[in-house]
Chains A and B, each alone.
Chain A
Amino acid sequence: MIEIKNVSRTYSDGQHTEALRDVSLEIRRGEFLSLTGPSGCGKTSLLRLIAGLDSPQDGELLMEGRAIDSPCHERGYVFQQAALFPWKTVEENIAFGLRARRVYREKKRLVGEYLSLVGLDGFSKSYPHELSGGMVQRAAIARALINGPKVLLLDEPLGALDAFTRIELQNVIREIWRKTATTVVLVTHDVDEAIYLSDRIAVMTPRPGRISEILTVNLPAGRDRDSEDFIGLRRTMLRKLTINN
């Protein structure tokens, strides 16, 4: 569905940073793909390229055969820091995509639906600063989902959360993926999170980032973090990450 072909990205404002070198990756329709690697290896850079927020110096990115050259509501994006609009209520934040595209039909129903999908019923009239970190991320996910994107790009949405909230939200994301059948690309540092959620895990090398390995997770749908297979996979992955470093 999305093809990334020999993409390179070097930042040259200020100092010269080669963030991505010759990255190739294919993202399949409907899959849950995690992107992981050490800090600063270019995960955000790659996700921004996929979103169309940035363009590569070399190589090309295609979605359904067409070049990705600008952001589009078909590729939903959730930022590392949620970037909710502080002057809008949760409800208005979530409705933003619909209003921006002038889709007013069924707005109310859709907003209500996505509010409950992420478990924010009762907070529709709150402003972002009145929410906890986890709730802010829930709202940001709902805001991206309401456009019915073909791909949902998540940049460490759970990175700043405590372990409890994290696990809770992992289940929310899993449910959403199951219900909406969108393709999901999740950037994460957390090995458990990647194994728990993904069909495939792309591991990146330290800067300049490249895809060093793609692991396929062959675990059943209801994943148990304590099962033999899970623990085995975690051990393999940790070994790969440490070898790379």
Chain B
Amino acid sequence: MDRNKKYWKPKSNLWFFLAVTALAAALATDVLVPNVQETDTLYYQAVLAASIAVLLILFGIPVFSSGLGGRLYHYSQFIAAAGLFLTFLDLLTTKSNILKLPFFPGPARIVEVLFTERGMLLVCTAHSLRLFFAGLAGGVVLGIVTGVLTGWNRQWNYWLFPVIKVAGVIPPVAWIPLALVVFPSSFYAGIFLLTVASWFTIAFMVSTGIASTPKEYFEASRTLGADERYLLFHVAIPNAAPNIFTGIVTSAGMCFMMLVITEMIGAKAGLGWYINWAKAWASYDKVYASIVIMGVAFCIILAVINVFRSYFLRWQRGIVQ
């Protein structure tokens, strides 16, 4: 009986070898079938070969049966499907031009762009991440502060909570015209918009988290000699911690969306700007390359947030799954 709830797929070597085979098929297809779209397929082939090698090495590691192994088995089915998908996509694009250029470059072409344009892409990614974290940090700080104030103090709650509630339902893109006029540069306008995109969600979550603290916790603390300040920092805020993280994760998504939008309209740098610029030249390969980067970057961002979350909420392990 397999008790691992997170990596629950069958620990079957068959699936693992199917995954390797599918990647190998993708590689073989690309090597053997002649190109129709003009592409330097070497990068793509190298990436596929490297993936296969990594899989086989991980499989060979003696500790395979422990934690790492479970994960590898768990993702085998997905990797197999991905390999098949790449094989067909390659056949439909690079190898036949059934899906036509310039709108549908093949996976090989996108990988090629990722390598040949890496300098530019790296600079743009750095720009985007800087704006993203600046904006999100603003939202997190303001969100937590206003959320705590409204959740804790009824005067603050009276004045601020309705504002937070209303501001929270306005789509952040609605502030774009204002932001472009008020701020001296598109960078600061971007920070403002991202802050707005994350602030109210976080504030709302924090506020409800604080306000929903069970009365017994406060009463128990009072009989133990805690004063108001101690109640806030050691009872109410810890009780709201799960909510704080839910708020941060939710608003990180909105922030990321807002990031790309603001970069597409005002900025002179960043991945959003790069997409716009590439589109103007009909370089759809570059558009897709930056989309790939965005996907990967956001996954990494979420993973980082999750590291903090599982540290601060380690007490929840075993309560929630």
Residue ranges of A at the interface with B (Cβ–Cβ < 8 Å): 51-53, 70-73, 75-77, 79, 81, 83, 85-89, 96-97, 99-101, 127, 129-130, 143-144, 147
Complex: A81 Cα to B264 Cα, angstroms: 56
Closest chain B residue to A128 by CB distance?
Answer: B315
Listed A/B pairs (8) with beta-carbon separation below 8 Å: A71-B223, A79-B219, A81-B216, A83-B216, A86-B316, A97-B224, A100-B226, A147-B224
Q: Is the interface of B mostly helix, strand, loop or mixed?
A: helix
Complex: A147 Cα to B223 Cα, angstroms: 10
Chain B residues with Cβ under 8 A from A73's Cβ? Answer: 223-225
Chain B residues with Cβ under 8 A from A77's Cβ? Answer: 219-220, 223
Contact of A100 among B219, B224, B241, B316 (CB under 8 A): B224
**Could you mark each residue 83-109 of chain B with 1 if its beta carbon is under 8 Å from any beta carbon of chain A, else 0?**
000000000000000000000000000
Q: Is B241 a contact partner of A127 (Cβ separation < 8 A)?
A: no
Complex: A24 Cα to B35 Cα, angstroms: 97
Q: Is B235 a contact partner of A85 (Cβ separation < 8 A)?
A: yes
Q: Is A129 a contact partner of B319 (Cβ separation < 8 A)?
A: yes
Complex: A76 Cα to B318 Cα, angstroms: 30
Q: Is B230 an interface residue (CB 8 A)?
A: yes
Complex: A76 Cα to B241 Cα, angstroms: 28
Closest chain A residue to B235 by CB distance?
Answer: A85
Q: Is B225 a contact partner of A147 (Cβ separation < 8 A)?
A: yes
- List residues 210-224 of chain B with CB under 8 A from any CB of chain A: 214, 216-217, 219-224
Q: Is A76 a contact partner of B223 (Cβ separation < 8 A)?
A: yes
Chain A residues with Cβ under 8 A from B220's Cβ? Answer: 77, 79, 83, 85, 143
Q: Is the interface of A mostly helix, strand, loop or mixed?
A: loop
Chain A residues with Cβ under 8 A from B226's Cβ? Answer: 96, 100-101
Q: Which of B222, B223, B316, B319: most chain A CB closer than 10 A?
A: B223
Complex: A186 Cα to B262 Cα, angstroms: 64
* Number of A-B residue pairs having CB atoms within 8 Å of each other in the complex: 70
From known contacts A53-B219, A100-B230, A100-B234, infer whether A87 and B241 are also in contact, taking CB-CB under 8 Å.
yes
**Could you mark each residue 214-249 of chain B with 1 if its beta carbon is under 8 Å from any beta carbon of chain A, else 0?**
101101111111110010001100110100000000
From known contacts A53-B219, A83-B220, infer whether A129 and B318 are also in contact, taking CB-CB under 8 Å.
yes
Q: Is A100 a contact partner of B315 (Cβ separation < 8 A)?
A: no
Chain A residues with Cβ under 8 A from B224's Cβ? Answer: 73, 76, 96-97, 100, 143-144, 147
B5 CB to nearest A CB, Å: 16
From known contacts A88-B315, A100-B234, infer whether A72 and B219 are also in contact, taking CB-CB under 8 Å.
no
Q: Is B315 a contact partner of A51 (Cβ separation < 8 A)?
A: no
Chain B residues with Cβ under 8 A from A87's Cβ? Answer: 238-239, 241, 315
B310 CB to nearest A CB, Å: 14
Q: Is B318 a contact partner of A71 (Cβ separation < 8 A)?
A: no
Closest chain B residue to A97 by CB distance?
Answer: B224
Complex: A99 Cα to B233 Cα, angstroms: 12
Q: Is B219 a contact partner of A71 (Cβ separation < 8 A)?
A: yes
Chain A residues with Cβ under 8 A from B235's Cβ? Answer: 85
- List residues 178-223 of chain B with CB under 8 A from any CB of chain A: 214, 216-217, 219-223
Chain A residues with Cβ under 8 A from B216's Cβ? Answer: 79, 81, 83
Q: Which of B217, B224, B238, B319: most chain A CB closer than 10 A?
A: B224
Chain B residues with Cβ under 8 A from A129's Cβ? Answer: 318-319
Q: Is A144 a contact partner of B223 (Cβ separation < 8 A)?
A: yes
Q: Is A85 a contact partner of B217 (Cβ separation < 8 A)?
A: yes
Chain A residues with Cβ under 8 A from B227's Cβ? Answer: 100
A58 CB to nearest B CB, Å: 23
Chain B residues with Cβ under 8 A from A72's Cβ? Answer: 223, 225
Complex: A83 Cα to B216 Cα, angstroms: 6
B214 CB to nearest A CB, Å: 8
Complex: A75 Cα to B226 Cα, angstroms: 13
Complex: A101 Cα to B219 Cα, angstroms: 15
Q: Is B221 a contact partner of A100 (Cβ separation < 8 A)?
A: yes
Chain B residues with Cβ under 8 A from A96's Cβ? Answer: 221, 224, 226, 234
Complex: A147 Cα to B318 Cα, angstroms: 30
Complex: A72 Cα to B219 Cα, angstroms: 11
Q: Is B223 a contact partner of A85 (Cβ separation < 8 A)?
A: no
From known contacts A53-B219, A79-B220, A83-B220, infer whether A97 and B319 are also in contact, taking CB-CB under 8 Å.
no
Complex: A96 Cα to B234 Cα, angstroms: 9
Chain B residues with Cβ under 8 A from A99's Cβ? Answer: 234
